[in-house]
Chain A
Amino acid sequence: SQQGEEDPQALSIQEGENATMNCSYKTSINNLQWYRQNSGRGLVHLILIRSNEREKHSGRLRVTLDTSKKSSSLLITASRAADTASYFCATGSGGGADGLTFGKGTHLIIQP
């Protein structure tokens, strides 16, 4: 599997429910980030968690990182129709100058 691989590939839930997406990676990382991409648009940075952090919150977003399992999860609470998008995790190895490595993403659909 690729570095930064998300699952599930697609997720459909009702508005107001919580959405959880997972990401696994293979190599050591400096940080892990989550991005959102609306159809046909650029990526929007959501949250960054460093390798020495275990959990981070930002508004309705909660990210966890387990470096022993090389995995991360993104939780969106109280989902809204506007949360419909593709969500990507991206890893950075840091140490001066690597591009980010993205997974294939989870396509989230919030049904009104």
Chain B
Amino acid sequence: NAGVMQNPRHLVRRRGQEARLRCSPVKGHSHVYWYRQLPEEGLKFMVYLQKENIIDESGMPKERFSAEFPKEGPSILRIQQVVRGDSAAYFCASSPMSPGTSGEQFFGPGTRLTVL
């Protein structure tokens, strides 16, 4: 009974490169959330997706960041032309139903992005 899986666990990129972070939700979960955590900080909500739809992207930076959750395959968080300030831990979470009914989210182990 696998939980949320994220890969890679660690990613190093040089400034200007692209970063792709992958998230496979718990089997049967159709809601995916991405969060970013800076050192010594709490998690900041970025985006909430259902299959093939972005529901809420109010926490996403306006430029360079995009997310998708295709009908088949994992959810992808894509960061183009990375800068040093993008260095952080990125966590994915999934839930089986909308937050209005349950609220609990299941978190993956995170991807630690380092931009040189």
Contact = CB atoms under 8 A, between A and B. Distances in A.
Q: Give the interface size bracket for B toward A.
A: 20 to 34
B44 A102 contact: yes
B109 A97 contact: no
A92 B45 contact: no
A42 B110 contact: yes
Q: Which of B45, B98, B104 has the most CB of A within 10 A?
A: B104
Q: Which of A41, A43, A45, A48 has the most CB of B within 10 A?
A: A43
B107 interface: yes
Q: Give the interface size bracket for A toward B.
A: 20 to 34
B42 A45 contact: no
Contact of A48 (B48, B56, B104): B104
Interface in B26-76: 33, 35, 40-48, 55-56, 59
